């Protein structure tokens, strides 16, 4: 089995999205228990650097960060951009 850049990138995105999902869940639990929170900058950066799908799913499941416009509109836009990037890279590889 040949290891290509696209496969490595896909694995990175899977790991990043799972990590982002977990961090968003953790932040929601911290918010419910009045404990120290994960910074919004960190949450946005995790979504920006590949975890947008995990962020989007956790926002929907846990109803977390859905009032802030930059999460409500920014995370889905990042997810679309990441999806388009993967499609572009996959199409270019053929």
Measured CA to CA, the distance from residue 60 to residue 65 in angstroms comes to 9
Residue 85 has pLDDT above 80, yes or no: yes
| CA atoms within 13 Å, Cβ hemisphere of 15 | 6
Chain segment 25-69, per-residue pLDDT in tens = 999 999 999 999 999 999 999 999 999 999 999 999 999 898 999
Measured CA to CA, the distance from residue 56 to residue 64 in angstroms comes to 9
Identify the DSSP state of 62. H
Structural domain of 40: 5-93
- Number of structural domains the chain divides into: 1
pLDDT at residue number 58: 96
pLDDT at residue number 93: 81
pLDDT at residue number 94: 66
């Amino acid at each position: 089995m040949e290891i290509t850049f696209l496969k490595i990138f896909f694995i990175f995105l899977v790991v990043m999205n799972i990590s982002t999902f977990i961090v968003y869940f953790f932040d929601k639990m911290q918010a419910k228990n009045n404990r120290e929170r994960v910074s919004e900058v960190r949450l946005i950066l995790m979504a920006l650097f590949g975890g947008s799908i995990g962020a989007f799913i956790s926002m929907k499941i846990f109803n977390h960060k859905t009032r802030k416009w930059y999460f409500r509109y920014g995370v889905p836009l990042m997810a679309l951009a990441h999806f388009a990037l993967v499609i572009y890279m996959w199409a270019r590889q053929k």
